Amino acid sequence: MNTTQECQNMVEEDEIDLRELWQSVKDGKRTIFLTMLAVMTLTFVYVLATPNSYKSEAVLMPSAQDSTPSLGGLGGLAAMAGVSIGGGSMTPDVAFKSLLNNYSFMKNFVEKNHIYEYYNRDDADKNYVFALGYRGLYDLFHGSKEKKALSEAEKNDAIYKLTKTLQKKISISADKKSGLITISYTDYDRTYAPKVVNYFLKDASAYLVMNGLKHINSQLNYFQKEMANAEAIELRKNLSEMISKILQSKVTMQAKEYYQCDLLTAPKTAYIKDKTKPKRGLILVVAFITSMILGIFIVFFRNFLKEGKEEDRDEWKKSLGSFKCQFIIKR
């Protein structure tokens, strides 16, 4: 046998016989069906037991903010005295995000608004909405449990976990073109989601305004002292103008309900059909395709193991036959 013929035989042995594969699929159709049935049943139970998630959002319109008034030589004088005059360009969305990522603020936010207590009520899930209006599976997996009293350390740990969850579920974004700021919260309870958005807006705005007023008051105190000690008429005039502008910014800051923003649209309770997830149809389609692929893989893998055992058995028989032949020859 020449080399070309040997190579051709090797290629033919390595070729995948599609008819054999199809026959394997037909022979293993029961396994494939059972695999698909098991996966689809579990998926169906999951989508029925999972409540709908709803989003509530508020849209804010940043106010036109004047930059910090030009201080001329007074700015350098204030800096030498250790007084911060500002001039930063932090936008409201950045300020809100900074507070959202601040654990100390968020922990106080959770405790002040009794959010932990709300989510740990016996009927905390009474407003949940389910597919087909059926909540039997959810109640089966989340049956009534006796809530034992938590120690101080356990409660702090639970509040910590809730705070981290809120930081993930509250979203803050700003449109670069329009400048509009959107603050949203996603939750199973569609009636509570707008309350969380309102709580955050009010607490974050109050915190930022308080810090802003501290900064403004430090400026006022400094310039008022300088004005009391100033003798030159021109300097007193400049200081008076600065104090007037700072007072204007103070009044403007206090007049706003939200930090440097006006409310464009208030958070509302989402319509019962306007859920964000789960996307049950997509989940079922993906599960169907995945279960079919998994079933076929199991069939092929099982055949592979079976063929491997048969090859090992044949090799063992050949080795045993060879050993017998050698033994007979020697005798």
3-state secondary structure of 172: strand
Q: What is the pLDDT of residue 29?
A: 87
Which residue from 220, 269, 275, 225 is spatially nearest to 245, judged by alpha carbons? Answer: 220
Q: Which residue has the higher pLDDT, 267 or 212?
A: 267
Q: What is the pLDDT of residue 67?
A: 43
The residue-averaged pLDDT of 59-70 equals 67
Of the candidate ranges 109-118, 158-167, 171-180, 299-308, the one whose mean pLDDT is the lowest? 299-308
309: amino acid identity, one letter: K
The residue-averaged pLDDT of 64-89 equals 47
Confidence of residue 83 (pLDDT cuts 50, 70, 90): very low
3-state secondary structure of 263: strand
DSSP designation for 269: P
Question: Token pair 């508020």 is at which residue?
Answer: 58
Domain 54-271 falls in which CATH fold? Answer: Bacterial polysaccharide co-polymerase-like (3.30.1890)
Q: What is the pLDDT of residue 118?
A: 93
294: amino acid identity, one letter: L
pLDDT tens track for 98-139: 999 999 999 999 999 999 999 988 888 899 999 988 888 888
Confidence of residue 254 (pLDDT cuts 50, 70, 90): confident
Q: What is the pLDDT of residue 85?
A: 44
Q: What is the pLDDT of residue 293?
A: 93
Tell me how long the chain is. 331
pLDDT above 80 for 244: no
Q: How many Cα neighbours within 13 Å face the side chain of 276?
A: 15
Q: What is the pLDDT of residue 242?
A: 76
Q: What is the pLDDT of residue 71?
A: 47
Q: What is the pLDDT of residue 64?
A: 66
Residue 304 and residue 206: Cα distance in Å, rounded?
68
pLDDT above 80 for 330: no
Confirm if 51 and 138 have CB atoms less than 8 A apart: yes
Which helix (H) or strand (E) is 182 found in, with range? strand 181-187
Q: Which residue has the higher pLDDT, 313 or 284?
A: 284
Residue 246 and residue 259: Cα distance in Å, rounded?
17
327: amino acid identity, one letter: F
For the chain, which residues make up each domain, given as ranges? Answer: 54-271
Q: What is the pLDDT of residue 191?
A: 94
Looking at the DSSP assignment, which residues form a beta bridge with residue 173?
A: 182
Question: Token pair 């006796």 is at which residue?
Answer: 146
pLDDT tens track for 8-44: 554 454 455 677 777 877 888 899 999 999 999 999 9
The residue-averaged pLDDT of 316-321 equals 50
